[in-house]
Structure 1
Amino acid sequence: MTPLSKLSDHELIQSFVLGNTGAFECLVLRHKDKLYTSIHFLVKDKYLAEDIFQDVFIRVIDTVRGGRYTEEGKFLPWAMRIAHNLCVDHFRKVKRTPTIKTGDDTDIFEILNFTEESPEEKLIKKQSHNRVRDMLDLLPEDQREVIILRHYADLSFKEIAEMTHCSINTALGRMRYGLINLRKMMVQKQIAL
């Protein structure tokens, strides 16, 4: 029998439908980092991101168990779309835009699994990630969203366009202008990553 980690997303979902809860756990573990990171960058609150992350998988379980899952081979983009919609719903509900936090929340990059680094390398990496996050916070929301979905969630521009309800060219333009703005900020602030 093939180990669960070797199965495709579609095969894991089919196994879960047949009653194998370990298959769903494998699916969550496979995609948790990309989903959580994307949610966290959109909502900028660790605890809210954790709540939305859980809500995403509750919706996924309900949809799969209800026999309504039809995204064969496209689990991650589908789950990302659910996450994005839940983030949008949250902001509509509270009728505010995300706030920029500079508090002492645990850095998301400490949660991700990296190879063991020296304390100096860890400090340098943390400072670089903090600089990038701070600069991302200064971008217009549409540019920031496209950059996060592309670089942190690893979605294609077609998937981003569908998720943000814009054309592929608009998504590409937002990415281009976002990167140009990030470069300008780096030059103005003399930041080297």
Structure 2
Amino acid sequence: MNRNEPDDPDLVGRARRGDREAFTQLVMQYQIPLYNMALRMVGTPDDAADVAQEAFLRAWEKIRTLRKAPFKPWLFQIAVNLCYDHFRRGRRYGTMPDEEQGGKVVGLGLPAVDPEERALLSERNRLVRQSIEALDHDMRVALVLRDVNGMAYEEIAAVIKVPLGTVKSRIARAREQVQERLRVYPELFHLPSANEESSER
């Protein structure tokens, strides 16, 4: 954010007093990361857009109840709960979008060495997406918030309302499960074996 732009507490304070322009600035600031998180949870652009739109609508309706809590974790908590509602209604668990994240494999940050690896990168992305999709809801949420949205552990704990240690445990277990599924493709992923990891601990 530009130094001359108002920060979250200022915008939230104005929004709590009914300032729609201030809330619009909050929407503009968070609409892309919120949509990206929802997309990786519910899987389709239309459903992700619905989740993001509903999250902002609910945030506007409830903004007056927000006191000292930071706005970002509070907003993402609303969106995460909407994603859970999406699945409780019997909707199919989302398929992660087929895309390259700035030349990195989603969730693991494995860089493409050179342009010649583009075809392999597509296959790596597909396999990583499948591995993340296989995680249970709680681990998938934590992993997406950390490795896709880049949230701090403390922010994630505030979003999903669990202790910090639980957040770290879920993310660690999620990464282990993803890597375990990818170890069967040694020609695509240069990951240490389970025995090698155990000997290093």
TM-score normalised over the length of structure 1: 0.72
Q: 1:165 to 1:11 in 2, by over 3 A?
A: closer
Any conservation in 2 of the 1:4–1:23 contact (CA below 8 Å)? no
Q: 1:108 to 1:4 in 2, by over 3 A?
A: farther
Alignment pair present for 1:98 and 2:97 = no
The 5 A counterparts of 1:11-160 are 11-17=10-16, 20-64=19-63, 67-72=64-69, 74-92=70-88, 94-96=89-91, 98-100=93-95, 107=99, 127=122, 129-160=125-156
Displacement of 1:170 after TM fit? 2.6
Unaligned runs of 5+ in 2: 103-114, 191-201
Q: 1:19 to 1:168 in 2, by over 3 A?
A: closer
Give 1:32's aligned amino acid.
Q
- State the distance in 2 between where 1:8 and 1:62 align: 21
Unaligned runs of 5+ in 1: 111-119
Q: 1:186 to 1:52 in 2, by over 3 A?
A: same
Displacement of 1:158 after TM fit? 3.8
Give 2:27's aligned amino acid.
V
SS of the counterpart of 2:65? coil
Percentage of matched positions with identical amino acids? 24
Give 2:47's aligned amino acid.
L
Give 2:82's aligned amino acid.
L
The one-character-per-residue Cα deviations of 1:131-172 (angstroms, maximum 9, x if unpaired) are 432321123333222111222233333443454454332322
Displacement of 1:187 after TM fit? 2.5
- State the distance in 2 between where 1:183 and 1:34 align: 25
Runs of 4+ in 1 over 6 A off after TM superposition: none
Aligned residue number for residue 174 of structure 2: 178
- State the distance in 1 between where 2:19 and 2:163 align: 39
Structure with the higher helix share, 1 or 2 = 1
SS of the counterpart of 1:180? helix
Displacement of 1:57 after TM fit? 0.6
Q: How many residues align?
A: 175
Alignment pair present for 1:168 and 2:167 = no
- State the distance in 2 between where 1:129 and 1:4 align: 37
SS of the counterpart of 2:183? helix
Displacement of 1:107 after TM fit? 4.3
- State the distance in 2 between where 1:16 and 1:170 align: 33
